[in-house]
Amino acid sequence: MSNIKTWVCVDDEHIYEATVDLSHRWNGWLSPGFTLDAVRQLAAHTEEMAEAEGFDCSDQIIVIDGEPEPVVLHVRWQYHKEEGAQAVNVVKPDENGLYWIGGWEWCWYQVEDGPLFYTANATFDAWQRVLGQSARRIGEILRTQMPEATSCLVDLTSLGHIVQVDGDSSTWPSNTDSDGPDGYGPFDSETLGEADEVLRKALDHGRDRVSLELGGWRPARDIRQPELHRIVFAPAGHPHGGDALLDEARAAFTEARRTWLTESAPYLVNDARAACPQAIGVVVDPTASEPFVMFLADNDDPTTAVPVLADLAEKVTERLEAMFTYRPTGEDLTAAGWSSSAPARLDGAYHLLFHEA
């Protein structure tokens, strides 16, 4: 049994410091041991979950303080009526003071980057708000000339544009003479252009289909055109938010992206130094699908190639791909400590110099 200290998660929302044996698994899931402090955190979160979702569909960890030591209970409320006292067990600490909770029962998984987990979630949530506010604003713009509009279809290829607007009793384009010679129907080109601009700014920072769907931009499976996405507008009569709410969401997302880049940097440095101990920095092309370009080496020619194990270099590439998930702008990179004067002299490249260990 080879235990390591790491971080684990079971609900995709909270992480806890734990001791685990990565080779000791149940259906791929881990069996973690926790200190009493971590158990208290877990207890608080399971209480919140039970209150929010109902005690009959949630396990709960309870810490009862007393002498000579606290008592930790694992309560399976959903089985209480059938099993009574059997639905409750006392979790006793082992010889090292660790409480082994949820093993062979809960779906615990490892979170190697620890607290960076929260930064990643906050950045994703900020982008989801941009998607939601963009959908709302697109609806408000289109309703200025088609008040009954309820949704639109968008084509995400190239720059992205609106291809259809649906209402309760009408659709644009209608494929009839009612659309007029210009084909804009009830709209003018300026209105469609304004709505398209909101759409494109939302797409500037990502087009991952799964993430878009989570943000409410769903593939148009209802009309058997999953290559298109449907954006559903707020109900008629919903308060008009104008540009202010969207601008606020964009600003919060910009701050979140920059925080994500900044807080990810130490992890990148560790990965880079593991791959190339001579590295004093890294050069990237933020617009590429694989942004990693090269290490900067600590010698007379900082761009000299040095031998690097492929799997370690791949870890650096994966780290950078994660950091650049939201397509950071040059301003984002500069704000997070990157420089555009890359020694590699590549157009559009940026570099990050490492601080002394």
pLDDT tens digits, 242-282: 999 999 999 999 999 999 999 999 999 999 999 888 888 88
pLDDT tens digits, 141-152: 999 999 999 999
- Closest by Cα among 175, 190, 322 to 263: 322
Pick left, alpha or beta for residue 33 (phi over 0 → left; psi -120 to 50 → alpha; otherwise beta): beta
Quick one: three-class SS letters along the chain?
Answer: CCCEEEEEECCCCCEEEEEECCCCEECCEECCEECHHHHHHHHHHHHHHHHHHCHHHCEEEEEECCCCCCEEEEEEHHHHHHHHHHHEEEECCCCCCCEECCCCCCCEEECCCCCHHHHHHHHHHHHHHHHHHHHHHHHHHHHCCCCCEEEEEEECCCCCEEEEEEECCCEECCCCHHHCCCCCCCCCHHHHHHHHHHHHHHHCCCCCHHHHHHCCEEEEHHHCEEEEEEEECCCCCCCCCHHHHHHHHHHHHHHHHHHHHHHHHHHHHHHHHHHCCCEEEEEECCCCCCCEEEEEECCCCCCCCCCCCHHHHHHHHHHHHHHCCCCCCHHHHHHCCCECCCCCCCCCCEEEECCCC
- Closest by Cα among 60, 63, 92 to 76: 60
pLDDT tens digits, 298-320: 654 544 555 666 778 889 999 99
Choice between 153 and 85, residue whose per-residue pLDDT is larger: 153
pLDDT tens digits, 169-186: 888 987 655 565 555 668
Choice between 341 and 207, residue whose per-residue pLDDT is larger: 207
Mean pLDDT of 93-114: 95
Q: Which two tokens stand for residue 200?
A: 């494109």
- As a whole number of angstroms, the distance between CA 349 and CA 70 comes to 56
pLDDT tens digits, 277-295: 888 888 888 888 888 888 8
- As a whole number of angstroms, the distance between CA 346 and CA 354 comes to 20
- As a whole number of angstroms, the distance between CA 327 and CA 323 comes to 9
- 164 DSSP β-pair partners: 153
Report whether pLDDT(125) > 90.
Answer: yes
Mean pLDDT of 150-176: 88
Q: What is the dihedral of CA 312, 316, 322, 324, to 10 degrees?
A: -160
